[in-house]
Amino acid sequence: MKTQIGIAGAGFAGAVIARELAETNRYEIHVYDERDHIAGNCHTTRDDDTGIMVHHYGPHIFNTSRQDVWEYVQRWSQFMPFTNRVKAVTAAGVFSLPVNLLTINQFFQKKLTPLEAESFIKELADNKIQEPQTFEEQALKFLGSALYKNFFYGYTKKQWGVEPTELPASILKRLPVRFNYDDNYYNQKYQGIPVEGYTKIVERILDHPNINVKLKSRLNPDDKKNFSHIFWSGPMDGYFQYKLGRLRYRTLKFERFVQDGDFQGNPVINYCEEHVPYTRITEHKHFAPWETHEKTVCFKEYSALCEEKDTPYYPLRLKNDLELLKQYVELAQSENNTTFIGRLGTYRYLDMHVVIGESLDLVRNYLGKENSQWPR
Ligand code: UDP
């Protein structure tokens, strides 16, 4: 009789753990997901009208510096080399993002060299700020007020629904600032797009005789007695029936449209002005420049506070949420035989590669401990 394991959520977190356990041949793993598809918010399918691979929950570009994570994902799919180059529409025109030498030179109408640009931005920056605590302080210290107002203030207010003075500096630290012409959105060593989409990868990870997947069904924490361990990638507060209140998230709504040809000439364009109601437009066919499509399908992206009926995307993590999180973490730590994993399970703003890396580390650690107790 194999050891029974329950996993809530068939996204990357749950799938990676399920597979590693399954391969030992000592476990039978039951993966539950409330939705009618696997892969969580990384879900991709080919669009019915155009045949283009669409990222249903917003743009996902795989990037990592961890070689083991890069090798892991390639075990399941071919990845095509891809560099994310985002453009930003601002009140002053269209520019390249992240802020780089082209952005600086075009925005300020200059011809600065890297060293000149660095000292120019330093002069604009607010040097009174020592250790930036908030998003706004981080922006003012490293970019100065003109770039902050044009590129970050409006977008961030729309994206998070609060003033950037209420947000942590860590959100802005996700984006590099460069004094050269490198316009790659990410700083990571490896970057690519899976040729058959992310859902295919998760499908292959879960395709193992020791793994059962049940869609449109929920793993109830009360059924814990049926399993020797649960890995929970659903919302952490949901596990405890929200008994202390709800951790807040931002959700996204997408307005899909199809037209002929090329709508915007780039996969992602951000709209940084506060009065434009959406944050960005994704034109999915540009994620696969190796494919040819006559038509194009785009998603206009709107951010909103996540209500109970909505899909949670970004953990809001404001002061109240972090206080509530602390209490839930205490409950979680005293819960035997349950491990909380992934973006929702740990209430953190995590990218795919981080989730995969953490899940690999966690399950190997778990197996190591189990092995040491395993009868020889
Ligand atoms: N951001 C911004 N303007 C932009 C792009 C990003 O103000 O044009 C801010 C915004 O607050 C966003 C954060 O930087 O939430 C991180 O951006 P990233 O592109 O990493 O967000 P994601 O793609 O994960 O939504």
Tell me which residue has its CA closest to atom 19 in ligand 1: 175
* Whether the predicted pLDDT of 198 surpasses 70: yes
Strands, E, within the chain: which ranges?
3-8, 27-33, 44-46, 53-55, 62-64, 79-81, 86-90, 93-97, 190-194, 211-215, 229-232, 249-260, 268-271, 280-283, 295-305, 314-315, 338-340
- The C-alpha angle 212, 27, 227, rounded to 5 degrees, equals 80
Average pLDDT over residues 235-256: 98
Domain boundary among 140, 173, 206: 173
Q: Check: CB of residue 178 under 8 Å from CB of residue 98.
A: yes
Rounded CA separation 165/154 (Å): 13
- Is 309 inside a domain boundary? no
Mean pLDDT of 205-231: 96
d(C-alpha 31, C-alpha 273), whole Å: 42
Q: In percent, how much of the chain has pLDDT > 70?
A: 98
The DSSP bridge partners found for residue 90 are: 93
Q: Give the model's confidence band at 373: pLDDT under 50 very low, under 70 low, under 90 confident, else very high.
A: low
Q: Are residues 90 and 235 in the same domain?
A: no
Do residues 249 and 304 make contact, with C-beta atoms less than 8 angstroms apart?
no
Q: Which two tokens stand for residue 65?
A: 């510096």
Q: Nearest CA to 199 among 80, 29, 56?
A: 56
Instruction: Grade residue 366 by pLDDT with cuts at 50, 70 and 90.
Output: very high
In a domain, 129, yes or no: yes
Q: Are residues 159 and 204 in the same domain?
A: no
With both helix axes pointing from N to C terminus, report the angle between 12-22 and 198-206 in degrees, rounded to the nearest 10: 30
Is 151 within a domain?
A: yes
Whether 272 is in the pocket of ligand 1, judged by its Cβ within 6 Å, is yes
Asked if residue 260 is part of any domain, the answer here is: no
Identify the pLDDT of residue 369.
82
Residue 340 has pLDDT above 50, yes or no: yes
For residue 37, the enclosing domain spans 3-43+196-243+316-373
Distances in whole angstroms, Cα of residue 357 to Cα of each of 6, 60, 64, 118, 227: 20, 16, 9, 34, 25
pLDDT at 370: 74
Q: Are 342 and 11 a contacting pair, CB within 8 Å?
A: yes
CA–CA dist 80, 322 (Å, integer)? 39
Quote the pLDDT of residue 375.
41
Q: Are 233 and 339 contained in the same domain? A: yes
Tell whether 323 and 232 lie within a shared domain: yes
Q: Evaluate whether residue 301 is within a structural domain.
A: no
The preferred substitution site among 175, 278, 287 for testing ligand 1, maximizing ligand atoms within 8 Å of CB, is 175
Name the closest-CA residue to atom 10, ligand 1: 156
Average pLDDT in the chain: 96
The answer to whether residues 169 and 205 belong to one domain is no
Q: Which atom of ligand 1 is closest in space to residue 86's alpha carbon?
A: 8
Catalytic residue among 20, 301, 321, 358: 301
Quick check: is 57 catalytic?
no
pLDDT confidence tier of residue 282, bands split at 50, 70 and 90: very high
Indicate if ipTM > 0.90: yes
Q: Which pair of tokens denotes residue 355?
A: 């989730």
289 in a domain, yes or no? no
For ligand 1, is residue 172 a contact (CB within 6 Å)?
yes
For the Cβ of 97 lying below 6 angstroms from any atom of ligand 1, the answer is yes
Distance from C-alpha of 27 to C-alpha of 266, rounded to nearest angstrom: 45
- Cα(332) to ligand 1 centroid in Å equals 30
Q: What is the mean pLDDT of residues 66-79?
A: 98
In the predicted model, what is the mean pLDDT of residues 358-363? 97
**What pLDDT sits at residue 160?**
98
Asked if residue 201 and residue 111 are part of one domain, the reply reads: no
Question: Do 235 and 320 fall within a single domain?
Answer: yes
Residues 167 and 122 in one domain: yes
Q: Looking at the structure, tell me whether residues 156 and 39 fall in a common domain.
A: no
On the CB side of 318, CA atoms within 13 Å amount to: 15
Instruction: Give me the catalytic one of 183, 185, 248, 280.
Output: 280
Residue 34 has pLDDT above 90, yes or no: yes
For residues 359 and 219, state if they share a domain: yes
Cα 267 to Cα 263: distance, rounded to the nearest angstrom: 10
CB of residue 155 inside a 6 A radius of ligand 1: yes
pTM of the model: 0.96
Domain shared by 150 and 23, yes or no: no
Alpha-carbon distance 77 to 201, whole Å? 6
Identify any residues that bridge with 315 across adjacent strands, giving them in sequence order. Answer: 249
Query: How many domains are there within the chain?
Result: 2
* Confidence at residue 372, expressed as pLDDT on a 0 to 100 scale: 63
> What whole-number distance in Å separates Cα of residue 246 and Cα of residue 312?
12
Residue 185 within a domain: no
Inter-residue contact 12 to 36 (CB < 8 Å):
no
User: Looking at residues 215-226, what average pLDDT do you find?
Assistant: 95
Q: What is the mean pLDDT of residues 124-145?
A: 94
Determine contact, residues 151/92, Cβ cutoff 8 Å: no
Is pLDDT of 134 > 90? yes
CA 156 to ligand 1 centroid distance, Å: 7
301 as an active site residue: the answer is yes
Q: Which CATH number is 336's domain given?
A: 3.40.50.720
Binned at pLDDT 50, 70 and 90, residue 84 comes out as very high
pLDDT(326) > 80: yes
226 and 123, same domain (yes or no) = no
Q: What is the mean pLDDT of residues 52-73?
A: 98
Q: How long is the chain?
A: 376
Of the pLDDT bands very low, low, confident and very high (cuts 50, 70, 90), residue 337 is very high
Categorize the per-residue pLDDT at 371 as very low, low, confident or very high, splitting at 50, 70 and 90. Answer: low
Is 121 part of a structural domain of the chain? yes
Residue 49 pairs in a beta bridge with none
**Phi and psi based region of residue 372 (left: phi greater than 0; alpha: psi -120 to 50; beta: remaining):** alpha
